[in-house]
């Protein structure tokens, strides 16, 4: 196999991963990413189809994989594995316990596809890393994964929210929009139906949340646009 063949094989593998990780990709997007012509991408997609990969085309939109198709797990390089271990260490100092639990389960699945030597090296690296945090020990939350799910599924959510410097709380029905981490606090940005406006809610003040089956209409606004308007 010559250099051009090796380069193309690498590109074909990468295109397949792009197809698996995104709902839709275009030939133009792929051509720009791999710095080749769109004609080359057309040939690459044809090669994948001939190899048995179920690549479907939607006219005017792009390529996508047949629902349910998955390729075998890819092997991580040592640097990629080390980056994941570092990310896990950083998140281990997070203030949301349920988020840490979910990441730990995800990392266990990742480690299941690592080579034995890579696992051993990653475990050694984990033992030799320490991340300091400024979170007080009693400062913890447990609702981050549920709120993240509400954001991506546009699920209306009820929040039992403790008022600042008070023992009383208020029930808010909100449309979750984004989560932010700032000054050691996790914040939920949501459209509050009581105030009829966007509001920030500290997740550590949430006594209870209920993610409802009822859906809300997605806001035609990006987080970047929200901050620009808020200035």
User: What is the chain's mean pLDDT, rounded?
Assistant: 81
The angle formed by the CA atoms of residues 88, 94 and 98, to the nearest 5 degrees, is 90
Q: Are residues 156 and 222 in the same domain?
A: yes
Q: Are residues 46 and 96 in the same domain?
A: no
Confidence of residue 67 (pLDDT cuts 50, 70, 90): confident
Alpha-carbon gap, residue 142 to 203, rounded angstroms: 8
Task: Choose between 51 and 155: higher pLDDT.
Answer: 155
Alpha-carbon gap, residue 56 to 18, rounded angstroms: 14
Q: Are residues 61 and 82 in the same domain?
A: no
Q: pLDDT tens-digit profile of 202-211?
A: 988 999 999 9
CB proximity list for 23: less than 8 A, separation 6 or greater? 64
Q: What per-residue confidence (pLDDT) applies to 70? A: 67
Q: pLDDT tens-digit profile of 86-96?
A: 777 766 666 57
Asked, for residue 72, whether it belongs to a domain, the answer is no
Alpha-carbon gap, residue 217 to 158, rounded angstroms: 16
Q: What per-residue confidence (pLDDT) applies to 170? A: 92
**Is the pLDDT assigned to residue 38 strictly greater than 60?**
yes
Q: Are residues 157 and 99 in the same domain?
A: no
Asked, for residue 36, whether it belongs to a domain, the answer is yes
Asked, for residue 149, whether it belongs to a domain, the answer is yes
Q: What per-residue confidence (pLDDT) applies to 43? A: 92
Instruction: Give how many domains the chain has, as a whole number.
Output: 3
The answer to whether the beta carbons of residues 90 and 131 sit under 8 Å apart is yes
Asked, for residue 153, whether it belongs to a domain, the answer is yes
Q: What per-residue confidence (pLDDT) applies to 4? A: 63
Alpha-carbon gap, residue 210 to 24, rounded angstroms: 32
Confidence of residue 166 (pLDDT cuts 50, 70, 90): confident
Q: What would the mean pLDDT of 172-192 be, rounded to a whole number? A: 87
Q: What per-residue confidence (pLDDT) applies to 93? A: 61
Q: In terms of residues, how long is the chain?
A: 231
Name the burial class of residue 199, with classes exposed (0-12), middle (13-18) and buried (19+) by CB atoms within 10 angstroms of its CB.
middle
Alpha-carbon gap, residue 189 to 51, rounded angstroms: 46
Q: Are residues 54 and 102 in the same domain?
A: no
Asked, for residue 157, whether it belongs to a domain, the answer is yes
- Which domain covers residue 155, as residue numbers? 144-230
Q: What per-residue confidence (pLDDT) applies to 167? A: 79
Q: What per-residue confidence (pLDDT) applies to 221? A: 87
Q: What is the percent of the chain where pLDDT is above 70?
A: 77
pTM here is 0.56
Q: What would the mean pLDDT of 145-160 be, rounded to a whole number? A: 92
CB atoms within 10 A of CB 142: 17
């Amino acid at each position: 196999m010559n250099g051009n063949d090796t380069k193309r094989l690498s590109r074909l593998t990468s295109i397949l991963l792009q197809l698996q990780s995104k709902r839709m990709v275009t030939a133009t997007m792929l051509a720009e990413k791999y710095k080749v012509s769109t004609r080359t991408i057309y040939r690459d997609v044809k090669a994948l189809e001939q190899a048995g990969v179920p690549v479907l085309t939607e006219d005017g939109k792009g390529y996508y994989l047949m629902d349910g198709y998955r390729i075998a797990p890819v092997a991580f390089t040592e640097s990629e594995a080390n980056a994941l271990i570092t990310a896990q260490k950083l998140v281990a100092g997070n203030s949301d316990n349920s988020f840490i639990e979910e990441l730990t389960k995800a990392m266990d699945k990742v480690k299941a596809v690592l080579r034995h030597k890579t696992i051993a090296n990653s475990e050694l690296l984990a033992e030799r890393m320490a991340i300091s945090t400024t979170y007080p020990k009693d400062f913890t939350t447990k609702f981050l994964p549920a709120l993240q799910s509400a954001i991506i599924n546009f699920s209306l959510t009820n929040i039992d929210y403790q008022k600042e410097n008070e023992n009383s709380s208020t029930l808010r029905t909100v449309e979750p929009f984004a989560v932010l981490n700032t000054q050691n606090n996790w914040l939920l940005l949501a459209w509050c139906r009581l105030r009829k406006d966007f509001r920030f809610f500290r997740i550590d003040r949430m006594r209870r949340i209920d993610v409802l089956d009822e859906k809300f209409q997605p806001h035609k606004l990006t987080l970047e646009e929200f901050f620009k308007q808020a200035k």
